[in-house]
Structure 1
Amino acid sequence: MSKVTMPIAIALILTLLLTACSTTNSNQTLTAVAQAPGAFKVAILLPGRINDNAWNQAGYQGLKLIEKQLEAQVTYRASVPPADWEKLSRQYAQQGVDFLIVHSEDYLAAAEVVAKEFRRVKFAVTGSYAGNNNNFGALAFRSGEIGYLAGVVAALKTKTNKVAYIGGQPYPINREEATLLERGAKKTKPSVVASINWVNSWSNAEKARKIALAQIAAGADVLVTDAGEANRGVLKAAQESRGVYAIGWMHSSDEVDQTQQLAPFLLTSVVQQVPSLLLEGATLVQQGRWEGKQYKFGLLEGVQDLAPFKGSVSPQEEALVKSVKQDIIIGKIDVSP
């Protein structure tokens, strides 16, 4: 690829990597309860824009998937400032929604207050939360298992024995994936050193780029990034640096094949299907099975996986990754935090 076309390609790659889609997985086992169209009411509060090509867009598309699959009446508010979290949660509860999704762990305290006032309404936060064993629970990926798998891939490809994880915010679910990434890398190659880094932002791409370049300067040749919109900075640093590979993080995309072909530095991407995750939760609520606890979904349910390698690893390495994945699913490998 010429120097002229590379910037165009990398821009397309970043767009495709961060664009969410609203497909459900064929492994889904929950069935919707028959209701009159619009009888089931669902709302979501988003901390950012619905077209951010990252976490918030995936949340919005999850809402649209719920609307389509469960014939729900849906509504949302985007770019909600912290001062309005409790007020808007209460407004939706007063309006009679059946299920309110707060799409950030930052909303947790505000949602807890409102959930106590409106026991009929079911609440969910996307992230780590034990729940109140009543009406407020959480929806999360088993991020440890996919973090472990990404660590295996990173260890297989590093030549310097140094890999770096770059995350957005150190939320519990993200610390879990980082911890398990290190464990998976060391199990695969004990000499590997994994560096854990936090941007402390989901949108500061320039800060993420500087962290990535510092890690590359320190010898890291595989970068794993789960930093939302800030992923752009990490991927740009990898693209600019010879002999450096990256593993991206998506919140649902149908464009994996194209990105893999366009990006020789991209080994694979973690694909966590946020729309399918939210649909799982809404279906539990509609069925009357919501218990106000932590619900986790992962490889077994098909809501997360690695994107196809497209030749970025050898057949032997790919076979090893598939074997590790199967061992995780059957519980042979411990991926607890």
Structure 2
Amino acid sequence: MRTLIRSGGPVLSRRSLAAGAAAGTLLAASGLSADRARAADPLKVGFVYVGPVGDYGWSYQHDQGRLALEADLGDAISTTYVESVPEGADAERVVAQLASGGHGLIFATSFGFMNATLKVAKSFPDVVFEHCTGYKRADNVATYAARFYEGRYVIGVIAGLMTKTNVIGYVGAVPIPEVVRGINAFTQGLRSVNPEATVKVIWVNSWYDPGKEREAAETLVAQGADVLSQHTDSPAPVQVAAEKGLYAFGQATDMSAFGPEAHLTAIVDDWRGYYIERTRAVLDGTWTSGDTWGGLASGMVAISDYNTALPDTVVAAAEAARTGIETGTLHPLAGPLTDQAGTERVAEGEAPDDGALLSMDWFVEGVQGQAPR
């Protein structure tokens, strides 16, 4: 059972939210435990998306996870999603309304929802919250993310072997460590096979803005890029590449429908297994707070089908990189690693630990663009 709440304005309309106070009181009185699995009513699971489910990127892929959850657990749950929720005060309002509306489990799926989720969680200690890509946790708040940078190294290898101008354009969303880390891993993959290639970055300061993404992609093409990558959520850069007869990579999901000849492959975020596992844990009373950060080996990150235009040698190089990462013989950001100024950041034979990866705020050599300050 699924309910949609459209966001973007000050009012959310849903009959069950109007009766939310009573449901929330009942939930707090009973607690989330093994009793939930025996309850007559289904567990209400809420999802909060930063973009529309039709972005064909980040939010779309999270919603595919929600649909898989419904298919797996059936009548044991009912799900609600709220799309296009701005990060900030609106996020706090939406999360609070879901919690007061009787939702026992809420997935907040954008970095900028972090503080809002933590704040609401303090007022609803018997509701379980899961925050995607954040780093703050509580007894009833867990965090989860995927090692997207692993997949970006693989597509960087492909870009390095396919470019003719040695200029790769990269449309960046918001300059947080997650995005910076991905740009660095992409650049390392690129230069592992083509040391002369460089990456030009343009920030659009938005996760989803097709107009800005298109403008950035067109600017990068004008600056000589013949391959486009992105960490934004619309297929606009892929469409630009298709119009210009160039190559591009999809983000979060397979975007080949928007440029079959241009789309070389995509990094795919697969949340299905995680959503099913964590919801089952709430139902059977075994849920605990913690952090999950899966990658290629765990299946949370995948590479979509390769464009048939890719030469066998390029596919082989990409697969070798993917296998190396999955088996642990290749780290996408292993040393020697120097920054844009030529200062060594990671020594040869070493690799940054998770703390260093999670706080990365500098660009590697080969990136043209300003890192966040």
TM-score where L is the length of structure 1: 0.78
1:46 maps onto 2:49 in alignment: yes
Kindly provide the amino acid, as one letter, of the partner of residue 124 in structure 2: F
Q: Counterpart in 2 of 1:246?
A: 248
Q: Offset at 1:269?
A: 1.7
Q: 1:48 to 1:159 in 2, by over 3 A?
A: closer
Q: Counterpart in 1 of 2:65?
A: 62
- The 3-state SS of whatever aligns with 1:125 is strand
Select which of 84, 105, 117 maps to 2:90: 84
- C-alpha distance in 1 between matches for 2:301 and 2:78: 27
- C-alpha distance in 2 between matches for 1:178 and 1:293: 27
Q: CA RMSD in A?
A: 2.7
- The 3-state SS of whatever aligns with 2:54 is coil
- The 3-state SS of whatever aligns with 1:237 is helix
Find the structure with the greater CA-based Rg: 2
The 5 Å alignment of 1:233-312 reads 234-242=237-245, 244-251=246-253, 259=257, 263-286=260-283, 288-312=285-309
- C-alpha distance in 2 between matches for 1:88 and 1:143: 27
Single out whichever of 167-176 and 283-292 deviates more from structure 2: 283-292
Kindly provide the amino acid, as one letter, of the partner of residue 46 in structure 1: Y
Q: Offset at 1:106?
A: 1.9
Q: Where does the alignment leave 5 or more consecutive residues of structure 2 unmatched? A: 1-35, 333-351, 358-373
- The 3-state SS of whatever aligns with 2:84 is coil
The 5 Å alignment of 1:1-337 reads 38-70=41-73, 71-81=76-86, 82-127=88-133, 129-229=134-234, 231-232=235-236, 234-242=237-245, 244-251=246-253, 259=257, 263-286=260-283, 288-335=285-332, 337=357
- C-alpha distance in 2 between matches for 1:47 and 1:104: 6
Q: Counterpart in 1 of 2:9?
A: none
- C-alpha distance in 2 between matches for 1:236 and 1:61: 22
Q: Offset at 1:329?
A: 0.8
TM-score where L is the length of structure 2: 0.71
Structure 1 contact 37–72 (Cα < 8 Å) conserved: no
Q: Offset at 1:160?
A: 1.8
Structure 1 contact 42–97 (Cα < 8 Å) conserved: yes
- C-alpha distance in 1 between matches for 2:116 and 2:107: 12
Q: Offset at 1:282?
A: 2.9
- C-alpha distance in 2 between matches for 1:325 and 1:197: 27
- C-alpha distance in 1 between matches for 2:53 and 2:306: 29
- C-alpha distance in 1 between matches for 2:276 and 2:116: 23
Q: Offset at 1:181?
A: 0.7
Q: Offset at 1:36?
A: 6.1
Q: Offset at 1:287?
A: 5.0
- The 3-state SS of whatever aligns with 2:53 is coil
- C-alpha distance in 1 between matches for 2:98 and 2:242: 44
Aligned residues: 296
Q: Offset at 1:306?
A: 1.6
Kindly provide the amino acid, as one letter, of the partner of residue 212 in structure 2: K
Structure 1, residues 286-329: CA drift from partner, whole Å, max 9, x if none?
A: 45454433312221122322222242221122112111111101
Q: Offset at 1:113?
A: 0.9
- C-alpha distance in 1 between matches for 2:308 and 2:247: 13
Kindly provide the amino acid, as one letter, of the partner of residue 49 in structure 2: L
